[in-house]
Structure 1
Amino acid sequence: MDGLLREPLLYSDIVESPASFMRSVRKTPSALQHTLRHAISCTGTGLHTGQSIRMSLHPASAGHGIVFQRTDLPNAAPISARYDNVLETRLSTVLGEAQHPENRVATVEHLMAALNGCGVDNALVLIDGPETPVFDGSAADFVFLLDCAGRKAQDAPRRFIEVCKPIRICHNDSWAELHPTAGHHLHLSLSIDFPAKAIGQQSYSAELTPWSFRHELANSRTFTLKAEIEALHRAGLARGGSLDNAIVVDDDHILNPSGLRKPDEFIRHKVMDAVGDLYLAGGVLLGEFRGHRSGHALNNQVLRALFADQNAWRDITTSLPAASAA
């Protein structure tokens, strides 16, 4: 992480340790909303713009949701982190205003995944550029930021959104689905198929809990093919990309000197991306997400299809059994 700034805190001021936090909500999600205990700031590089970005995360009131605010644009309106505010999905998820497309924040999926995985419902994200920092290409540094800021329960129920009937979106041989489930968590099952031998066919399934996110998904990095880098640069993308923040694959070779963090890091990263994209539902999604070669576009389209059908979902905010407020 390039930089980390906050008001001085004692370690004891951070109310929960990751271990106690995970124990308290591993089985059933907390019934209460949570925000950050303290504001925290960081600096880093944008993956696609290559710009130096300063970003700060702030506590927010109950019902506020996750909201982005560009501080470098005069009179820019706040942008709620919702599926219907997604402007683009090419290589990242981009939130913004349709009427003022210059007011946008790109590559939000890793931060949104960390907020989802760590159970943060309300936060204000101030950012002085068009993209969140990429850090090491995973969600691990965002989890670290949230741990440093701490988490505080609020006197308001969380919004849970239950999937009530199957939804399927297809594009060629890629597809994404949402299905009802009897559990109290989001379950994800994804598969990928790449011609590069170092990636090939991979599949992964996980039930989203604080423990599974931290230990199985958070540190999985974004990846690209060496053969595509020149085209990305011509398109004005990946200007901040490097071996420090992305896995680069050349057929059967991994070009990063340190190699992979896990043999199936590629599919784990895709699952982590989906955790972030699906948190744009505006609440905690309860159901099963399945996908094959699904990316940001299909992840967003399946949410739009879900909410377009009033019989496909229901709000069960007050229906879950109460759990620890930790």
Structure 2
Amino acid sequence: MAKLLNSKQTTLRDRVVVSGVGVHSGKPVEMILHPADRNSGITFLRVDREKGTEFEIKGSFSSVIDTRLCTVVGHPDKGMVATIEHLMAALVGYGVDNVLVEIDADEVPVMDGSSRAYIDAIDQVGLKELSAPRRYIRVLKPVRVQNGDSVGELLPYNGTRFDVTIDFDCETIGVQHFDEEMTPDIFKKEVSLARTFGFVSDVERLWAAGYALGSSLENSVVIGDDQKIVNPDGLRYEDEFVRHKTLDAVGDLALAGAPLLAHYRSYKGGHKLNFNMLEALFSDDSNWEWVEASVPSRNSARVAPSHETGAIQVAMGPETN
């Protein structure tokens, strides 16, 4: 497993290439994850090799231009990168603060429909710490969003916790609940393998509209008209559906720009709700504050005031595996 540092920012030790197809376009994609400097965050570099052009898109909620089928970032007059949520979940869920994502298509490769291929890519090259403390966004008071029967809340919490409930009128899914402290280890073992899912009727409708052209049983859990799972190998987790919705939430909230110190609760949520939560959080400066990790002299985890700035510093333990 990659070395994860609670106190200092990280990046990749080397570049790593991930290739696949876009779930909606069905077209081949090559993506290169590059190491990046401290405080640079996650940035997409959209490259058009035929035209010889390129432009950058910040991995931020302010870059989001669509959330209907997936999370899409981009510029209205330049272009976009779609379906970023599984990659964003892998990076932030696994403790990568800074990376440049070079990509030669309009969509991140779907791989097997989960985040696991990206986790494997990170493990392939490993992480290195940078000479800057990790920054967090601390939620200071409850923030709530409701879209019809979808409800989300960000609550103050000294950690990062995801509490996700889904409710489908389908006997195979029904009501499922997942609630965990989202550490890198928990993300890898309990969330990263959960695949995207859908219904045969929905897939056929999307195909007719020119979407989901790369969708298959190799990258999606598909539920048939009889409400049974079509995939011959079945599920990876008994409650894989809610775990994938949690994976999506981790990826969407990664667009905050730094790890959140918060308890995120969602009911019947999706990409739109997750995006609206970030809009609501940052709409009022009194909702949040920056905090910075500091390296203690002993193995400890505490919260200590910064006498220089009046801010709060989160003092974490030393390097762990």
TM-score (norm 2): 0.90
For 2:131 and 2:319, locate their aligned partners in 1 and report how far apart those are by CA, in whole Å.
Answer: 10
Aligned to 2:176: 202
Aligned to 1:180: 156
Q: Is the 8 A contact 1:153 1:325 kept in 2?
A: no
Q: Is the 8 A contact 1:32 1:325 kept in 2?
A: no
How far is the alpha carbon of 1:189 from its aligned partner?
0.7
For 2:238 and 2:227, locate their aligned partners in 1 and report how far apart those are by CA, in whole Å.
Answer: 13
Aligned to 2:213: 239
Aligned to 1:159: 135
| Identical aligned residues as a percent | 43
How far is the alpha carbon of 1:76 from its aligned partner?
3.4
Aligned to 2:60: 82
How far is the alpha carbon of 1:325 from its aligned partner?
4.2
Is 1:142 the counterpart of 2:142 in the alignment? no
Q: Is the 8 A contact 1:76 1:103 kept in 2?
A: no
How far is the alpha carbon of 1:74 from its aligned partner?
4.4
How far is the alpha carbon of 1:263 from its aligned partner?
1.1
Q: 1:40 to 1:267 in 2, by over 3 A?
A: same
Aligned partner of 1:87: which letter? I
How far is the alpha carbon of 1:235 from its aligned partner?
2.3
With 189-198 and 47-56 compared, the bigger mean Cα shift is at 189-198
Q: 1:45 aligns with which of 10, 18, 21?
A: 21
For 2:25 and 2:97, locate their aligned partners in 1 and report how far apart those are by CA, in whole Å.
Answer: 28
Is 1:56 the counterpart of 2:32 in the alignment? yes
Unaligned segments of structure 2, at least 5 residues: 294-312
How far is the alpha carbon of 1:252 from its aligned partner?
2.8
RMSD of aligned C-alpha atoms?
1.3
For 2:319 and 2:40, locate their aligned partners in 1 and report how far apart those are by CA, in whole Å.
Answer: 18
Question: What is the SS of the residue equivalent to 1:211?
Answer: helix
Q: 1:66 aligns with which of 19, 22, 42?
A: 42
What does the per-residue CA deviation read over 1:11-66, in whole Å, with 9 as the maximum and x for residues that have no partner? xxxxxx44xx3xxx6xxx61211000000112101001101000100001001110
Structure 2 counterparts to residues 86-105 of structure 1, below 5 A: 86-98=64-76, 100=77, 102-105=78-81
Aligned to 2:255: 280
Q: 2:96 aligns with which of 114, 120, 127?
A: 120
Runs ≥4 residues deviating over 3 A:
73-76
For 2:268 and 2:221, locate their aligned partners in 1 and report how far apart those are by CA, in whole Å.
Answer: 18
Q: Is the 8 A contact 1:138 1:222 kept in 2?
A: yes
For 2:12 and 2:129, locate their aligned partners in 1 and report how far apart those are by CA, in whole Å.
Answer: 9
For 1:92 and 1:38, locate their aligned partners in 2 and report how far apart those are by CA, in whole Å.
Answer: 29
What does the per-residue CA deviation read over 1:200-224, in whole Å, with 9 as the maximum and x for residues that have no partner? 1111111110110011000000000
Aligned to 1:311: 286
The structure whose residues are more often strand, as a share, is 2
Q: Is the 8 A contact 1:60 1:123 kept in 2?
A: yes
Question: What is the SS of the residue equivalent to 2:314?
Answer: coil
Question: What is the SS of the residue equivalent to 1:214?
Answer: helix
TM-score (norm 1): 0.89
Aligned to 1:260: 235
With 315-324 and 132-141 compared, the bigger mean Cα shift is at 315-324
How far is the alpha carbon of 1:262 from its aligned partner?
1.1
Unaligned segments of structure 1, at least 5 residues: 1-16
- Aligned residue pairs total 298
Q: Is the 8 A contact 1:196 1:249 kept in 2?
A: no
Aligned partner of 2:69: which letter? L
For 1:322 and 1:203, locate their aligned partners in 2 and report how far apart those are by CA, in whole Å.
Answer: 29
For 1:114 and 1:57, locate their aligned partners in 2 and report how far apart those are by CA, in whole Å.
Answer: 12
How far is the alpha carbon of 1:234 from its aligned partner?
2.2
For 1:269 and 1:30, locate their aligned partners in 2 and report how far apart those are by CA, in whole Å.
Answer: 25
Question: What is the SS of the residue equivalent to 1:263?
Answer: coil
For 1:303 and 1:285, locate their aligned partners in 2 and report how far apart those are by CA, in whole Å.
Answer: 11
What does the per-residue CA deviation read over 1:177-219, in whole Å, with 9 as the maximum and x for residues that have no partner? 10111x2x21011111111211111111111101100110000
